[in-house]
Amino acid sequence: MKSIKEQSIEAKIIKRVENNKVCFELVNFLFNDEELQELQEYANNVSIKRLGYNDHGPVHMRQVAGNAIKMLNILQRTGIKTSLETEEIGTFEDSMCAVILASLMHDIGMSITRQNHEDMSAILAQPIIDRALMHIFPDNVKKRTIIKALTTEAIVGHMSSKKINSVEAGIILIADGCDMTKGRARIPLSINKHPKVGDIHKYSANAIERIIISEGSRRPIRIDVEMSGDVGFFQVEEVLLTKIDSSPAKDFVELYAGVKGEDSKCYL
């Protein structure tokens, strides 16, 4: 059974795509795919209980989807074209489909291993991508082929360890980096009582109170990070900023971070 948190994020995602019939149908198809749900939940079990990492499960992947959809919609409203649109090989709707698919499957490879989990995610995602796209575009092999390839690029590129070239994949990279609030670190911090290498990521994430994604004044997308303590700057600089720097969508983003009650630092 899905958690209340999962259901809440799903409702927000559905609201964001309700005016697009194709994307609305796609998210509902994926939210009801039993294999995808089981992979997301098992990936989280491996991440938290076996490896001691933070949330990489159904809540995280839905949160990334919500972030990515919001960012892509902002780009459209501000007149920025996706790579498929610029290359005149696909539509904004096609780009959104790829972003939705990649968001909801980018971490399922954590069910196998942490190392190179993005590659494992891409392998596990292929049959799910195929049946989802066959459901949405049964008579259009060209669309299915292009969206599948773009989805795979976004999945394998979400760790910023591989060079990616599309705006769509770049949005996934940033949307993933934006899910670093204290909720992701709460469970592993409560389970693991003894300090070990890598804990700084959990403690710094625990200092992130809120991340706000909105339209910017200098660039299309503005990201504001609110934190309870200075340790949160580690998460911003080592995780989020690293991902933005590696993203083909970097030029569309302005980034601010600061402790609540103090002036924010402008990074981009």
Per-residue pLDDT tens over the stretch 149-198: 999 999 999 999 999 999 999 999 999 999 988 754 444 444 455 555 45
Q: Quick one: 60 and 77 in the same domain?
A: yes
Give residue 177's pLDDT: 95
In a domain, 226, yes or no: yes
Sorting pLDDT into bands at 50, 70 and 90, what band is 52? confident
Give residue 39's pLDDT: 98
Structural domains counted in the chain: 2
Segment 35-53 mean pLDDT: 94
In a domain, 212, yes or no: yes
Segment 62-79 mean pLDDT: 98
In a domain, 148, yes or no: yes
Q: Quick one: 71 and 170 in the same domain?
A: yes
CATH number reported for the structural domain that contains residue 229 in this entry: 3.30.300
**What domain range is 11 assigned to?**
4-176
Lowest mean pLDDT among 49-58, 96-105, 184-193: 184-193
Give residue 181's pLDDT: 82
In a domain, 267, yes or no: no
Measured from the Cβ of residue 250, the count of other Cβ atoms closer than 10 Å reads 16
Q: Quick one: 58 and 43 in the same domain?
A: yes
C-alpha to C-alpha distance for 101 and 155, rounded to whole angstroms? 9
C-alpha to C-alpha distance for 98 and 3, rounded to whole angstroms? 25
Give residue 155's pLDDT: 98
Q: Is the separation of the CB atoms in 134 and 29 below 8 Å?
A: no
Q: Quick one: 160 and 189 in the same domain?
A: no
Report the mean per-residue pLDDT for the chain.
93
Sorting pLDDT into bands at 50, 70 and 90, what band is 4? very high
Q: Quick one: 134 and 219 in the same domain?
A: no
Listed residues 176, 193, 226: the one ending a domain:
176
Sorting pLDDT into bands at 50, 70 and 90, what band is 128? very high
Give residue 187's pLDDT: 46
Listed residues 152, 176, 200: the one ending a domain:
176
Residue 113 reports pLDDT greater than 80: yes
Residue 108 reports pLDDT greater than 60: yes
Give residue 206's pLDDT: 85
Helices (H), 79-140: 83-86, 92-105, 117-136
Q: Quick one: 147 and 163 in the same domain?
A: yes
Lowest mean pLDDT among 69-78, 176-185, 255-264: 176-185
CATH number reported for the structural domain that contains residue 61 in this entry: 1.10.3210
Q: Quick one: 96 and 59 in the same domain?
A: yes
Q: Quick one: 170 and 237 in the same domain?
A: no
Give residue 242's pLDDT: 95
Give residue 186's pLDDT: 46
Listed residues 144, 159, 176: the one ending a domain:
176
Q: Quick one: 121 and 233 in the same domain?
A: no
Closest CA relative to residue 92, chosen from 77, 103, 71, 76: 76
CA dihedral 27, 31, 32, 37 (to 10 degrees): 140
Residue 263 reports pLDDT greater than 60: yes
Angle at 189 between CA 120 and CA 101, to 5 degrees: 30
Segment 227-231 mean pLDDT: 93
Q: Quick one: 11 and 125 in the same domain?
A: yes
Residue 57 reports pLDDT greater than 70: yes
